Chain A
């Protein structure tokens, strides 16, 4: 999971203003959702994939792997939309298959809906991936701070983001220690070990928060985590790019 995070920090457009990147991704997601044409989703995938690879400088195999995993998951999810199951034969206009007493059927409408769904979700997901792979989480939190989101929530996110990696590291080390002592050798041991691991992780997390509280309090902590504002590059050309993407998606979405 730290992979996506790592690419985000080394992306070529890391220092671009996150408001511009988020704006682009958000517009693409919204267009994908409100324009009911499969071409929009396909266009969004092509645009966002290309931008992530060539503009963001993320290796093509990485982007491809993430997209492929999501595409397979999407195909699985859409099966439930395509097929209908009933005990009676379906009405006219359905293609069906009889399995014992059960009728499995589909029609043109469901297939069209499934096609639209796959392209729409895939396009929106590609836009989300673009954001995730080129913008580190701290930049997004900084953006939320600029958008005047409640400071309590911001602090919560900052602390969580920091501790996710600490705890995952802790978890990995405990798991290695358990494994090297045959902690997962049998089913019974595996159950016991996972339970112990989780409970120790909780105690570890709790004590870390206490230590951090003490450390911060001794440095004059009043309940606000102050961080230096980050310096971003604001690029006017991004607006042109955003306009190009939006216009091309609108063209794809219009009934030509």
Chain B
């Protein structure tokens, strides 16, 4: 009995040591914040040609009203304030550049933020739908990541579902919860929602031969959950740090954009 308990304790000790050392090694290799520049962002868009044509078309149709509303909002914004034209272009470029930023992950490795939560706070959800789809187009053509026929599906997950959830949390919790908590939840859940919707899209297109849609969703969801829950927490923390820095040094810019609480 005693030896068994001891061996178990040794096992845990070795495991803890491995985790600790492994984490150090991973961290030592990931301290170059700009090494990521050459590589594609690691988050998972649906690849070109992966969806059956019917589903590819379906998600384009779902995305269409959001594009129309977003484009109409942008046109109105530009008519009212002509300087917004350049600002929106630069905002899109900023969203793209954010996805090349390397952030420390809570699990020890590193990753890239999606930037949808921050973008939603700064520019609103419908504008983000348009900006995100251009960002996705850029990623397909400049990084060979994502795809053209899956642009509709990827827009729905990254440019529509994520920002809408983020926007709901941001609007709902503002003035009711501490500022940092609101920002954290907005960014973390916007990131997580992107992957929940991606899992739904994959499960709908490829239902499990035994368990159908639900089993397939659990399957794809589990794969994403293992990698994405830590990443969404990381993105939440990072966005809190960014917003705090912006509130203290860029309140003028935030006010021009009409960000609440700035």
Contacts and interface: CB of A to CB of B under 8 A. Distances in A.
Interface string A187-212: 10011111111111111011011101
B210 A156 contact: no
A210 B83 contact: yes
Interface centre among B97, B118, B243 (most CB of A within 10 A): B97
Interface string A120-134: 111111001101100
Given A91-B210, A123-B49, A202-B242, A187 B83 contact: no
A9 interface: no
Contact of A187 (B104, B202, B209): B104
A114 B33 CA distance: 36
Given A121-B49, A156-B134, A223-B82, A179 B147 contact: no
A194 B53 contact: no
If over half of B's interface residues share one DSSP class (helix, strand or loop), that class is named, otherwise mixed; here it is helix
A29 B49 contact: yes
Contact of B101 (A90, A113, A163, A197): A197
B149 A150 contact: no
A142 interface: no
Interface stretch (B71-79, B153-161, B174-182): B71-79
Given A94-B210, A159-B93, A128 B86 contact: no
Interface residues of B, number: 78
A209 B86 contact: yes
Given A121-B50, A160-B134, 16 more contacts: A74-B47, A80-B220, A84-B208, A125-B48, A128-B140, A164-B96, A164-B142, A168-B97, A171-B100, A179-B32, A187-B104, A194-B103, A195-B241, A198-B118, A199-B245, A203-B249
24 contacts: A4-B142, A29-B149, A77-B47, A80-B202, A85-B211, A110-B209, A120-B49, A124-B147, A128-B141, A132-B140, A140-B141, A152-B78, A156-B89, A160-B134, A161-B93, A162-B93, A163-B94, A179-B34, A191-B104, A196-B245, A199-B242, A202-B94, A209-B87, A210-B83
Interface of B: 27, 31-34, 37-38, 40, 44, 47-50, 52-53, 56, 71, 74-75, 78, 82-83, 85-94, 96-98, 100-104, 118, 122, 130-131, 134, 137-138, 140-144, 147-149, 202, 206, 208-211, 215-216, 218-220, 223, 237-238, 241-246, 249-250, 253
